[in-house]
Amino acid sequence: MERYSEINRDISNASTGEREVDEVLHRLNILDMRVIKPFLLPLINYWKLNKIDFKALIGSLKVVETFIFRRTMCSFPTNALNKIFATLFSETIKLTNQGNTEFLPVLSYILINKADSSRYPKDSEFLKSFDDKDIYDMNKNARKYLFDRLENQDSREHVNVVDNMQDGNYTIEHIMPQTLSDSWKNTLGSDYKRIYTQWINKLANLTLTAYNSKYSNRSFIEKKHIDNGFDQSGFRLNDFLKNCNQWTEKELLARNDYLKELALKLWPYPETNFQPKQREKVSRTLDEDYDFAGTKIVSYTFKGTPYQVKSWIEMYVNVIEALYEIDPTPLYKVIAMHATKGWKCYLSGTEKNEFTKVADDLYVYGRTNTWNKLNVLNKLFQIYGIDPAELVFEINEKKIRNNN
């Protein structure tokens, strides 16, 4: 507890004593993502115990930082993060130990293989957010983080963007102003309404300034050349503007492309060569005396026809449906006699909770273990006079079995 409390302090204060580590922790703190603490605490501890090296630690922190920010830009739900980070460290260690491999490639593999609402946004999704996202509608912490990262990038000459934005010393400037003058309308052209609506709060039209009140809705040339205007600005974010003589959709598109290119450098999609060891696929038949516990079915073959499935229950229901197609009568007889012949109620003539419909007046209960499913199929095959060897399973063995 004492050790973890010290690590928690170092994370919260970005004070591990290693500059690069503390820079990333500081950025994560700006995002206010306390949800990642269950991952960060054991990760920093692992590093302090010399279980991973400095390079792996920095790489891991940056992969997580990019994961979080890409999801923020793409407006992915945050409620998925609790579950992800609760188990991420243990998942990574488990695969690292199994494969005798390094931490960072495994971590990257796990994150980029998350699916649906937990997924790691790919480049196409991330870049599209620069076209679509209203930055003014963005979480304020994420917005400060965004401008801090774009301004400072990886330079050691750090500008304290976050505190100055918090104190009001730095503000976000709309290059094309929020209120268009006649001069701006003329500059933008006849399509100015669409351009304004499309770009006003997009990142391409936003920058940093300490002189917002001086800019107002002046023309672009005035904003460039006035005292402390864009041409004299010390912000890296304004370097692009120094090379522009007007501000139209052409310049907006060009700056948007520039920011996208910069974003891919600052928040790169992870690369990894890691692949978990594939479990050896084996074939077993229904009549074999084999312990199927701890195995995963990949496919099955019934009467010479192969079928792909994702679970034992899917196979189970499918085979009973096939028996129904052959002849439904034996199944209905089983339903009628199961109470007197020792059958558990795995088949029903009426709809019930957790039963799957096979046909009218025929429902299958699948919430049982694999052994029971195969036992039911064996009994049904005896009734139908079908050789159980005609049902072949292709499985992945999760257990390491001793062949001696």
Domain boundaries, the chain: 2-120, 144-266, 281-397
Alpha helices in 202-326 (DSSP H): 212-215, 220-225, 239-242, 249-266, 312-326
- Render pLDDT for 311-327 as a digit per residue (tens, 0 to 9): 998 999 999 999 999 99
What is the reported pLDDT for 401?
36
What is the reported pLDDT for 278?
66
Residue 349 CA to residue 313 CA, distance in Å, equals 19
Residue 131 CA to residue 66 CA, distance in Å, equals 19
Confidence of residue 345 (pLDDT cuts 50, 70, 90): low
What is the reported pLDDT for 294?
80
pLDDT higher than 50, residue 188:
yes
Residue 3 CA to residue 9 CA, distance in Å, equals 10
pLDDT higher than 70, residue 279:
no
Confidence of residue 292 (pLDDT cuts 50, 70, 90): confident
Q: What is the mean pLDDT of residues 205-219?
A: 86
Q: Exposure pattern of 157-192 as b/e (b: 16+ CB <10 Å)?
A: eebebbebbeeeebebbbbbbeebeeebeebbeeeb
What is the reported pLDDT for 165?
94
Candidates 108, 35, 109, 118; CA nearest to 76 is 118
Distances (CA, A) of 261 to 126, 130, 173, 257, 341: 11, 11, 22, 6, 71
Q: Which of 116-125, 188-197, 331-340, 383-392 has the lowest mean pLDDT?
A: 331-340
Over its C-alpha atoms, the chain yields an Rg (Å, rounded) of: 31
- Render pLDDT for 217-248 as a digit per residue (tens, 0 to 9): 899 999 999 998 999 999 999 999 999 999 99
Confidence of residue 110 (pLDDT cuts 50, 70, 90): very high
What is the reported pLDDT for 293?
83
**DSSP 8-class letter at 100:** T
Residue pair 266/150 in contact by the 8 Å Cβ criterion:
yes
pLDDT higher than 60, residue 402:
no
Residue pair 282/385 in contact by the 8 Å Cβ criterion:
no
Residue 79 CA to residue 101 CA, distance in Å, equals 31
Q: Which of 47-56, 286-295, 324-333 has the lowest mean pLDDT?
A: 286-295
Q: What is the mean pLDDT of residues 58-87?
A: 94
What is the reported pLDDT for 112?
95
Q: What is the mean pLDDT of residues 117-127?
A: 95
Residue 17 CA to residue 125 CA, distance in Å, equals 36
Q: Which of 107-116, 184-193, 217-226, 270-279 has the lowest mean pLDDT?
A: 270-279
Name every residue whose Cβ is closer than 8 Å to that of residue 52 and which is 6 or more positions away in sequence. Answer: 46, 60, 102, 103, 104
pLDDT higher than 60, residue 398:
no
- Render pLDDT for 2-46 as a digit per residue (tens, 0 to 9): 888 999 999 999 999 999 999 999 999 999 888 999 999 999 999
Confidence of residue 403 (pLDDT cuts 50, 70, 90): very low
Residue 15 CA to residue 273 CA, distance in Å, equals 32
What is the reported pLDDT for 65?
97
Look at phi and psi of residue 342 and say left if phi exceeds 0, alpha if psi is from -120 to 50, else beta: left
- Phi and psi, residue 175, nearest 5°: -65, -55
Q: Which of 198-207, 312-321, 344-353 has the lowest mean pLDDT?
A: 344-353
Percent of the chain whose pLDDT exceeds 70: 95
What is the reported pLDDT for 399?
45
Residue 211 CA to residue 233 CA, distance in Å, equals 10
What are the structure tokens assigned to 287, written together?
A: 């009549």
